[in-house]
A = this chain, B = another copy of it.
Amino acid sequence: MRETAQILREKGLKVTPQRIAVYNMLLSTSEHPNAETIYKALEPTNPTMSLATVYKTLDFFKQLGLVQELNVREGSSRYDAVVKCHPHTVCTECGQVRDLYMDDLTDIHKKLAKELDFEVECEQLILYGICADCQRKHAEG
């Protein structure tokens, strides 16, 4: 894995412990955390970290294409270090957000957009429903 510090430097960002911490945290998780969750996760090991810095850092990262923002009908945004547009599933019971890969969908969407004379920059597909775990709980309960 390339050094986080180097990636930040290449993007023209000054390298600070806070930025490294936020980016590494996002790289190491697949749970699509929001700003609050990121802050809470980093606080123990980075006692000087502040929530405002997390927000500002995420905003920088977003603009530079280091992270992706995700809105799933919650009050706050979630973040993903996987920048490429990809679909997600969101469990309406436990709130779990998971990635979902499906390249052939993109082609269909592009064809559709072409018909509409709409130039697609990014397509966002979110499937809301019940995840396997919650379905099982229903069956048992």
Q: Which of A's residues lie within 8 Å of B, judged by CB?
A: 69, 71, 73, 89, 91-92, 100, 102, 105, 108-109, 112-113, 116-132, 135
7 sampled A-B residue pairs with Cβ under 8 A: A89-B118, A91-B118, A100-B116, A113-B129, A117-B135, A119-B129, A120-B129
Q: How far is the CA of A112 from the CA of B105 in the complex (A)?
A: 10
How far apart are A70's CB and chain B's nearest CB, in angstroms?
A: 10
Given A117-B132, A124-B125, 20 more A-B residue pairs with CB atoms under 8 Å apart are A91-B118, A102-B112, A108-B108, A112-B127, A116-B132, A117-B135, A118-B127, A118-B130, A119-B129, A119-B135, A121-B129, A123-B126, A123-B127, A123-B128, A124-B124, A124-B126, A124-B127, A124-B128, A125-B125, A125-B126
How far apart are A37's CB and chain B's nearest CB, in angstroms?
A: 19
B122 touches A129 (CB 8 A): yes
Q: How far is the CA of A118 from the CA of B135 in the complex (A)?
A: 8
Of B89, B105, B122, B124, which contacts A116 at CB under 8 A?
A: B89
